[in-house]
């Protein structure tokens, strides 16, 4: 069990700045996000688009903002638990016990939900038997490409992720690229590369078709794909990768007994606490009179929530308001002294 002063659910811009605010006032924290990278909507939905309303940054992309927030956290060595969804939250005396879908448990007096519009989850295959192979022979994202070396990999999808991985993995694996339409949606230069690799026999393209069934017991042996004209083809394969995009699911957060309205959590705007003591909601996921779903609103909300977290984590200490420009303690925490 991991003990911490505060657990942050969500590594979007709000969750990242929460960690900063907690650390400068002297609290420990851990961050969990279902995505395999930090940045939330900024990194997943608009990494290349410019944002013009971050105070004192005239223009930056979603990716640049995420990088800057991560750079600001560097002095603190924060533990990130990426690729894990927080599923359960229950009371344990004066603390909260929080469990992830990968079996990790946290014990903490403060849970800060910075869950945005919910966890980003991959769109999964519909045949039921796919579940048993997930994270063994079926993957919806790639953490270690070495496991595919010398194997046959069947990649489903028609966008940039599917095409980029088809090109990359074709260097060391036999690749089938399978899409439900004849046209692909990737960048033109990647499409040219794919056609070249097809001619060289390094990639085999199958369209328009979809996954029909999977054969195998512990590991996948083969898959059957169904073409639009009803024809079925059986393909021997070791791994299946799917890049059908992401869906956002509020998921387990809705089951935690928190007061909610229109898929957002109602908070007290003095400290961003929910109807349960020690559970806070900040950023896009919270609602209060006048709430604006903007990044700058999330930054303000976490500063106030962090002060309340301090009172719960250090009940015998007095919280002292200090400026970063003049506080020696904060500057020491930042490694500046």
Ligand X SMILES: Cc1cc2nc3c(=O)[nH]c(=O)nc-3n(C[C@H](O)[C@H](O)[C@H](O)COP(=O)(O)OP(=O)(O)OC[C@H]3O[C@@H](n4cnc5c(N)ncnc54)[C@H](O)[C@@H]3O)c2cc1C
Please report, as ranges, the residues that interact with ligand X according to CB under 6 A: 9-15, 32-35, 40-42, 45-46, 51, 53, 85-86, 114-120, 251-253, 283-284, 293-296, 298
In this chain, which residue has its C-beta nearest to ligand X?
A: 116
State the nearest-atom distance from the C-beta of 143 to ligand X, in Å: 16
β-sheet bridge partners, residue 209: 227
Whichever of 80 and 184 has its CB closer to ligand X, that residue is: 80
Whichever of 117 and 169 has its CB closer to ligand X, that residue is: 117
State the nearest-atom distance from the C-beta of 18 to ligand X, in Å: 9
Look at the block and give the residue holding tokens 């791994």. Answer: 239
E runs forming strands in 125-184: 138-139, 152-156, 174-178
287 phi, psi to nearest 5 deg = -130, 140
Residue 22's CB: how many other CB atoms inside 10 A?
Answer: 27
Count of CA atoms in the C-beta half-sphere (13 A) of 123: 7
State the nearest-atom distance from the C-beta of 233 to ligand X, in Å: 36
Count of CA atoms in the C-beta half-sphere (13 A) of 166: 34
Rg (CA), the chain: 23
DSSP 250: -
State the nearest-atom distance from the C-beta of 106 to ligand X, in Å: 12
Whichever of 111 and 240 has its CB closer to ligand X, that residue is: 111
Q: Are 202 and 120 in contact (CB under 8 A)?
A: no
Whichever of 106 and 165 has its CB closer to ligand X, that residue is: 106
Whichever of 277 and 293 has its CB closer to ligand X, that residue is: 293
Report the Cα–Cα distance between both ends of the chain, in Å, rounded: 33
State the nearest-atom distance from the C-beta of 198 to ligand X, in Å: 34
Q: Which two tokens stand for residue 104?
A: 């990790």
Whichever of 72 and 207 has its CB closer to ligand X, that residue is: 72
Whichever of 116 and 157 has its CB closer to ligand X, that residue is: 116
State the nearest-atom distance from the C-beta of 287 to ligand X, in Å: 12
State the nearest-atom distance from the C-beta of 42 to ligand X, in Å: 5
Question: How many angstroms separate the Cα of 22 from the Cα of each of 31, 203, 228, 235, 295?
Answer: 12, 49, 55, 52, 18
Could you give the residue ranges of the DSSP H alpha helices within the chain?
13-24, 40-44, 62-73, 160-169, 188-199, 295-313, 328-333
């Amino acid at each position: 069990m991991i003990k911490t002063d505060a657990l942050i659910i969500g590594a979007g811009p709000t969750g990242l700045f929460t960690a900063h605010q907690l650390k400068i006032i002297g609290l420990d924290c851990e961050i969990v996000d279902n995505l395999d990278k930090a940045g939330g909507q900024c990194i997943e939905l608009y990494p290349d688009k410019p944002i013009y309303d971050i105070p004192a940054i005239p223009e930056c992309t979603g990716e640049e903002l995420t990088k800057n927030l991560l750079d600001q956290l560097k002095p603190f060595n924060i533990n990130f638990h990426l690729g894990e969804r927080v599923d359960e939250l229950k009371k344990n005396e004066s603390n909260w016990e929080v469990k992830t879908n990968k079996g990790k448990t946290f014990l903490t007096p403060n849970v800060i939900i910075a869950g945005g519009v919910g966890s980003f989850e991959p769109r999964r295959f519909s045949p039921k038997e796919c579940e048993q192979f997930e994270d063994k022979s079926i993957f919806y994202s790639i953490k270690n490409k070495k496991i595919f070396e010398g194997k046959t990999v069947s990649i489903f999808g028609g966008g940039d992720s599917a095409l980029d991985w088809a090109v990359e993995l074709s260097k060391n694996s036999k690749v089938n690229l399978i899409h439900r339409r004849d046209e692909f949606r990737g960048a033109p230069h990647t499409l040219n590369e794919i056609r070249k690799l097809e001619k060289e026999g390094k990639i085999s393209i199958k369209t328009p078709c979809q996954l029909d069934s999977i054969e195998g017991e512990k590991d996948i042996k083969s898959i059957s794909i169904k073409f639009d004209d009803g024809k079925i083809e059986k393909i021997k394969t070791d791994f299946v990768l799917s890049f059908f995009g992401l869906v956002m699911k509020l998921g387990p957060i809705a089951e935690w007994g928190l007061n909610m309205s229109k898929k957002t959590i109602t908070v007290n705007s003095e400290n961003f606490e929910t109807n349960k003591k020690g559970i806070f909601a900040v950023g896009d996921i919270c609602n209060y009179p006048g709430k604006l779903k903007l990044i700058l609103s999330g930054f303000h909300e976490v500063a106030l929530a962090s002060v309340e977290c301090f009172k719960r984590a250090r009940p015998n200490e007095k919280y002292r308001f200090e400026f970063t420009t003049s506080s020696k303690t904060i500057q020491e925490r930042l490694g500046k002294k």
